[in-house]
Amino acid sequence: MKRKITLFISLLILMTLSISAQEKKDSHEKQYEMKTYYLVLLKKGPNRNQDSVTVSKLQGQHMAHLNKMAEEGKMDICGPLMDDSDIRGICVYNVATKEEALKLASEDPMVKVGRLMAEIHPFYSAKGATLK
């Protein structure tokens, strides 16, 4: 009887370890659906000689443009860089083609007047990936 109990407990432990190992394996092999996004670098443009009133007005229009794209689901994240480099900000566009990304970027009022210019790079990431 003691031997049967020991055998039963041994089998139970082996089954538990096997299930635990499979769960760890499954969590490490998580599959992601991949998608192409477009990284938009907003860089200093050639026309940066606007007065402060004009720049303020353009900034409001620029923000309205970005907010509209976010509301429409065409942009997932955007923000200014915190240093004083030629790259002034970055955006991640969630659109189907590079041409669509270029069209949206060119509609930005800051890009239209040449205060900013957009450099676009496609990149591959997990669909729906977010910053936490």
Position 15 scores a pLDDT of 53
The answer to whether 78 and 91 are in contact (CB under 8 A) is yes
Q: d(Cα 129, Cα 132) in Å, to the nearest integer? A: 10
Position 24 scores a pLDDT of 53
Question: Model confidence at 132, in pLDDT bands (50, 70, 90)?
Answer: confident
Residue 5 has pLDDT above 60, yes or no: no
What's the whole-model pTM score? Answer: 0.74
Domain layout of the chain by residue ranges: 1-30, 34-126
**Nearest-CA neighbor of 109 among 71, 54, 72?**
54
Position 131 scores a pLDDT of 75
DSSP state of 28: H
What are the pLDDT digits (tens) for 72-129? Answer: 999 999 999 999 899 999 999 999 999 999 999 999 999 999 999 999 999 988 888 7
Position 32 scores a pLDDT of 82
**Architecture category of domain 34-126 in CATH:** 2-Layer Sandwich (3.30)
Position 116 scores a pLDDT of 97
CB within 8 Å of 61: residues ≥ 6 apart: 109, 110
